[in-house]
């Protein structure tokens, strides 16, 4: 008897699991990994010395800038947390997860959110730094965000009740929003934005006033404002103002090449990564000046530059920021794509989870094998200042941060399965609040260890103010 051949399988025509099936899979995961298991944090036996980890990271950085990095991390436990993504990744690696992966940010904390300009020049709220982005467990981003809520609230003088409220607000908002995104069509999620009106509508009157001030300031921070702040006219040409040791004009690179030669080679590689229509736009600009710039906390010591370009007139500038791109801090702990360029990893991750990325995002690899990416500097960007006078507003800020993280994960992952796992109860809110307190304690111990290392002169520390 002739057998009927099995139907040919196709990745394009075979049906995907239904929405209900994905939700059922999420609910089933609660039996495998109960919410309360996420509440536990205990330092692993033989946990690596956090100071040794930082020293190892510093080995490949510009040694003249390492004291600045250490000084910035010693500013507060919150600053330490911002600069120690690698240490927390190692601590999270043994923790239980559901096995569901998304494009994670990898360095999720409260200072990594803010306003920025979409390609259409609208102001939107979201994640604003992606150096550690990687495919990984969604729980890692949410745990780091919750921990940062407690660390930041303590730093700002908040009590235990406010710390718990902040952590719970971030997790609760994430849980509710990702369940909402699970009900939307794929394109609806892809095109979703947190615009100014949407964000303001969920805030109290006091928090709304604060958010409006930040948004107004962000709108003013276009290229002309940056030009006025960072450059001066010299012989009718704009030149970047030096501010040693944070902004320095140099004639040669570390490997001895003239800056002009290195910059031309860099831009040649960068332009190849741009879409064709962006190449046309970029070709209408010419480099006016370039300087090395120290940025952030965790990035200090990596090779970072700012490039001033001028277009149609002297009042048509763009500032690009060159950033060295190393492997993600999460890379040793996840199975993920091996990227030929770490800069491409950053750019693709940002395009995937930010939803309204910079039109000039691009990447390349230098002759010496180092990787980099470029983006616009301060294009309508603005973020919260962690002012102790506004500490009571922090839970509302955590709420919108949780929302932004849920949107990022929904764009790249499985919102229906994650949402169903989280459920309608506050079980995960409570579990991650408990985790957040435990990890905040760990952060403060590590911060103290760094302070002791500084006093013992195990690490170099720059003077205050850098």
- Encode pLDDT of 136-166 as tens digits: 999 999 999 999 999 999 999 999 999 999 9
- Encode pLDDT of 235-289 as tens digits: 778 889 889 889 998 877 767 778 888 899 999 999 999 999 999 999 999 999 9
What is residue 433's three-state secondary structure? helix
Q: How many CB atoms lie within 10 A of CB 283?
A: 10
Within 8 A by CB and 6+ apart from 249, the residues are 240, 242, 289, 290, 291, 292
What is this structure's pTM? Answer: 0.94
Pick the closest to residue 160 from 170, 84, 168 (CA basis): 168
| Radius of gyration of the chain from its Cα atoms, rounded to whole angstroms | 23
- Encode pLDDT of 189-242 as tens digits: 999 999 999 999 999 999 999 998 888 888 877 777 777 788 887 777 888 988
H helices then E strands: how many in the chain? 17, 12
CA angle 315, 228, 378 (to 5 degrees): 90
Residues of the chain with pLDDT > 90, as a percent, come to 68
Distance CA 158, CA 97 (A): 30
Beta bridge partners of 25: none
pLDDT at 1 over 60: no
pLDDT, position 254: 67
Q: Please, what is the end-to-end C-alpha distance for the chain in angstroms?
A: 83
Structural contact between residues 269 and 279, judged by C-beta atoms closer than 8 angstroms: no
pLDDT, position 298: 79
Distance CA 422, CA 30 (A): 8
270 phi, psi to nearest 5 deg:
-60, -45
- Encode pLDDT of 10-64 as tens digits: 888 888 899 999 999 999 999 999 999 999 999 999 998 999 999 988 888 888 8
pLDDT at 2 over 70: no
CA angle 332, 337, 340 (to 5 degrees): 100
């Amino acid at each position: 008897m002739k057998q009927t051949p099995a139907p040919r399988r196709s990745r394009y025509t075979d049906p995907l699991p239904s929405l209900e099936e994905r939700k059922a899979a999420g609910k089933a995961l609660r039996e495998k990994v109960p919410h309360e298991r996420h509440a536990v944090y205990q330092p692993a036996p033989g946990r690596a010395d956090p100071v040794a980890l930082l020293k190892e990271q510093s080995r490949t950085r510009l040694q003249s800038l390492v004291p600045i990095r250490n000084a910035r991390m010693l500013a507060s436990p919150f600053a330490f947390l911002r600069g120690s993504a690698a240490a927390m990744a190692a601590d999270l690696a043994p923790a239980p997860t559901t096995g569901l992966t998304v494009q994670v940010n990898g360095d999720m904390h409260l200072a990594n959110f803010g306003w920025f300009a979409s390609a259409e020049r609208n102001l939107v709220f979201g994640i604003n730094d992606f150096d550690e982005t990687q495919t990984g467990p969604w729980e890692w981003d949410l745990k780091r965000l919750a921990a940062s809520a407690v660390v930041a609230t303590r730093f700002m003088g908040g009590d235990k009740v406010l710390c718990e409220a902040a952590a719970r607000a971030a997790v609760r908002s994430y849980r509710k929003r990702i369940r909402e995104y699970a009900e939307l069509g794929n394109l609806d999620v892809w095109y979703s934005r947190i615009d100014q009106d949407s964000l303001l509508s969920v805030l109290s009157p006091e928090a709304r006033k604060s958010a409006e001030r930040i948004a107004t300031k962000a709108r003013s921070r276009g290229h002309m404002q940056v030009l006025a702040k960072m450059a001066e006219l010299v012989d009718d040409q704009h030149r970047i103002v030096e501010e040693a040791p944070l902004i320095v004009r140099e004639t040669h690179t570390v490997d001895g090449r003239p800056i002009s030669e290195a910059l031309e080679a860099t831009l040649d590689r960068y332009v190849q990564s741009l879409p064709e229509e962006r190449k046309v736009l970029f070709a209408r600009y010419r480099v006016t000046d370039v300087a090395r710039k120290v940025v952030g906390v965790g990035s200090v010591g990596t090779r970072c530059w700012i490039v001033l370009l001028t277009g149609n007139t002297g009042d048509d500038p763009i500032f690009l920021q060159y950033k060295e791109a190393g492997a993600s801090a999460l890379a040793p702990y996840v199975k993920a794509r091996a990227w030929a360029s770490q800069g491409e990893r950053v750019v693709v991750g940002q395009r995937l989870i930010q939803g309204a990325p910079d039109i000039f995002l691009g990447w390349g690899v230098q002759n010496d094998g180092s990787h980099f990416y470029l983006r616009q500097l301060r294009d309508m960007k603005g973020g919260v200042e962690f002012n102790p006078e506004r500490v009571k507003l922090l839970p509302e800020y955590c709420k919108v941060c949780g929302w932004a993280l849920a949107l990022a994960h929904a764009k790249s992952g499985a919102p229906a399965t994650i949402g169903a796992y989280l459920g309608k109860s506050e079980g995960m809110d409570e579990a991650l609040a408990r985790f957040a307190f435990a990890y905040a304690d760990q952060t403060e111990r590590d911060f103290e260890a760094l302070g002791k290392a500084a006093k013992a002169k195990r690490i170099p520390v720059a003077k205050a103010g850098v």
